[in-house]
Structure 1
Amino acid sequence: MKVLVVGSGGREHALCWAISASPLCDALYCAPGNAGIADVASCVPLSAEDVDGIVAWVKANGIGFVVVGPEAPLVLGLADRLKAEGVKVFGPSARAAALEGSKGFMKDLLAKYNVPTAAYGRFREVDAAHAFIRQHGAPIVVKADGLAAGKGVTVARTVEEAIAAVDEALVGGRFGDAGAEVVIEEFLDGEEVSFFALVDGETALPLASAQDHKAVGDGDTGPNTGGMGAYSPAPALTPELQERVMREIVEPTVRGMAAEGCPFTGVLFAGLMIQDTAAGKVPKTLEFNVRFGDPECQTLMMRMKSDVLAALVAAADGVLKNFDVRWHDTVSLCVVMAARGYPGDYVKNTEIRALDAAGAVEGVTVFHAGTKRAEDGRILSTGGRVLGVTATGTTVAEAQARAYEAVKRLDWPDGFCRSDIGWRAVGR
């Protein structure tokens, strides 16, 4: 079949890299893609959020299957539009994408179907939000309801910080419509992990766990980012805890979405907090995303032994009940190279050299997240997070050593990375 992947980040490069190896794929395209994706797919100059343009191009070019990478086009209804045209698509409807597109919708669904999560309140009025914060005290978490490009969450250590976050959203309009409502919730302490499952509307098929590193600096210091690295699997999510996550979190959510008339199809990404309690370790739901994580997807694709395209088609076709996914018995670890200044104002259009040398390290693939090829052939940075240097190994330590050896071989003076990706797992 002819396949289109929508998006331009490291997640989409990893998906294209894996899909390109499938015998089911006759031709692979990516809209808009990047310099690395261009090595495995034909790039189409359409924005990921250009729903009309993508639908028209898919129809004109006889595309048989579309894989939507980012959340924004899903919330805009790209999957609905494609299905209406008879095109098979991997990704949820706009209503089902509200699991990520509206934190209030997600929290209400979890409360209704008894899925463990933090206590919360939803607010559009400033005074009511302030009163809730003063009543519950700090630490407390303030979230913009809608999509805010990863910048809508404040973990407030003081009441004053929480009130300021509410005022920024509801009074200052920092997040526009996405911040017209805020969700304020209990702060959960513990170890954060990511878990992924394929869903076909009824059946949820567990994939794998990963652990992301959000803070920009070593030792989890500095401001939060879109993710500075990840590794998979996450030792914190034991097989016993994974079974519990499926039973208590993923499966009730899938049943609840179907009962609400918006069955979920695609990949369900559960952000979890593993809490230590007197009764042992307990998983709670921090958030749901309706797409693969970035950089978690890079680590998952490196470990997947099964044909990823067959798995995505099975989810779209509603036949996951009869499907199984196999994994390589390895660990994978991704180190994100970001542009100097990120997550604030960062430098752009700087040249990246020695990519081939980095990719020559055993077990390493360098995924592109924010690059373009100049007319003279040079690879230039275009984003904040630019490369995902991803390695496999028999242990986290081996994968980590290989990834950082590849980072050393890169010639990009304007890039930087954390030096401790995987520190929790190595410490174990």
Structure 2
Amino acid sequence: ICGPDSRAAELEGSKAFAKEFMKRHQIPTADYQIFSTPEEAKKYVLNRGTPLAIKADGLAAGKGVILAMTEKDALDAIETIMVKRVFGDAGKRVVIEEFLQGEEASFIVFTDGFNLIPMPSSQDHKPIYDGDQGPNTGGMGAYSPAPVVTPEVREKIMQKIMIPTIKGMAVENRVYKGILYAGLMIKDGEPWVLEFNARFGDPETQPLLMRMKSDLLPVLEAIIAENLHEISIEWDNRAAVCVVMASSGYPGSYEKGKVISGLEEVEGLPDVQVFHAGTAWRNSQIITNGGRVLGVTALGDTIPDAISLSYKAVSKITWEGVYYRKDIGRKALKKN
């Protein structure tokens, strides 16, 4: 099996564990407090002030982080997570963090527990609406590379975050083998950890795999055998963009069973791949079967080229109630 064991995967499974781990190993992350009761959490908010990030401790399908810009937002978030238990047992505890400002980026590495091979940088788009408005989702699109991760920033990410994390896990007898994802905030050229995932990121993986020219299987086998240092990976220099097509109503309630049309038209487009997420096969038709339904991904010589091609493909696919953001990749254009 290629992947971390349960002890190592706690880096994702418990935000409280991850924050305490980063504190022990001096890995840059936001100031925080951990609370087991809503009363203590609310008292802290009233004393601390806002803005704040309120996070369910456990796994919440990418939706367990609430950015609270006002005191009311923060108190409502604590009520939602800890009292109403919208995220189930993931809300037994909350982590309340200082609100970091900057630009987010995703950074993912392959590791055999001792050696690391970084993937190209990428950037996710979490909020449901254009302009990063609305509630967080599992991700509405992504692109690679992320211009905010300059060569200098990339080196800082490796030296200050990824390498110390893998070394720290080994020191704590939690050897981490597999894919490690760091969700980062870049501020004034310095990276800060927002979260760890013990897996590929979605939808960042779609553009990354489009850019990966080498076969994935030997890399996974090398992770298992702990000889990742013998592997080299070739990457396509072109950019890639993924636009997530979702069901209307997501990340809230949504209907399933809508017939998807246009997929056959996209099959003929070069440098385009449609990754299926929330789909099913019924009565010889492909139908919607989830919130995030498709990840339409394209390669291009530049990010604008990849954006254009991905949206060209998106325009050919439809179903009743389809929704997608219209601004995936726009941040990269501002950087360029």
For this structure pair, what is the TM-score category when the shorter chain's length is used for normalisation? over 0.9
Instruction: Specify the alignment match of 1:75 in structure 2.
Output: none
Kindly indicate whether the alpha-carbon contact (under 8 Å) linking 1:359 and 1:406 is maintained by their aligned counterparts in 2: no
Task: Tell me which of 110, 120, 123 is aligned to 2:35.
Answer: 123
State the Cα distance separating 1:126 from its structure 2 match: 2.9
Q: Does the 8 Å CA contact 1:361/1:405 hold for their aligned counterparts?
A: no
Q: In the alignment, which residue of structure 1 is the partner of 2:197? A: 289
AA aligned opposite 1:404: Y
Match of 1:394 in 2: 301
Task: Measure, in 2, the Cα distance between the counterparts of 1:127 and 1:377.
Answer: 53
Q: 1:205 Cα deviation (Å)?
A: 1.4
Q: Name whichever of 239-248 and 414-423 sits farther off.
A: 414-423
Q: Is the 8 A contact 1:271 1:288 kept in 2?
A: yes
Q: Counterparts of 2:318 and 2:13 in 1: how far apart (Å)? A: 38
**TM-score under structure 1 length normalisation:** 0.76
Secondary structure of the 2:120 match is strand
- Alignment of structure 1 residues 48-197 onto 2, 5 Å: 89-197=1-109
Specify the alignment match of 1:47 in structure 2: none
1:383 aligns with 2:325: no
Amino acid in the other structure paired with 2:234: R
CA contact (8 A) 1:202 1:255 kept: yes
Corresponding position: 1:406 with 2:318: no
Q: SS of 2:293's equivalent?
A: strand
Match of 1:349 in 2: 257
Q: CA–CA distance in 2 between the matches of 1:173 and 1:403?
A: 38
Which of residues 314, 321, 336 in structure 1 aligns to 2:229? 321
Matches within 5 A, 1:180-329: 180-276=92-188, 281-329=189-237
Q: What is the CA distance between 1:322 and its match in structure 2? A: 2.1
Letter in 2 for 1:221: Q
Q: CA RMSD in A?
A: 1.2
Cα offset for 1:127?
Answer: 3.2
Runs of 4+ in 1 over 4 A off after TM superposition: none
Post-superposition offset of 1:131: 2.9
Alpha-carbon distance in structure 2 between the residues aligned to 1:297 and 1:310: 18
Separation of aligned partners in 2, 1:126 and 1:391: 45
Q: How far, CA to CA, are the matches of 2:306 and 2:215 in structure 1?
A: 23
Unaligned runs of 5+ in 2: none
Q: Assess, with a 3 A threshold, how the Cα gap between structure 1 residues 362 and 137 changes in structure 2: closer, same or farther.
A: same
Contact 1:145 1:180 (C-alpha < 8 Å) held by counterparts = yes
CA distance in 2, matches of 1:411, 1:358: 12
The answer to whether 1:422 aligns with 2:329 is: yes
Q: Quick one: which of 367, 374, 392 aligns to 2:275?
A: 367
Alignment deviations for residues 91-144 of structure 1 (CA, whole Å, 9 cap, x no partner) = 100011100000000000000000000001111133332232223210011111
Between stretches 136-145 and 106-115, larger displacement belongs to 136-145
Task: Give the % identical residues.
Answer: 49
Tell me the SS of whatever aligns to 1:94: coil
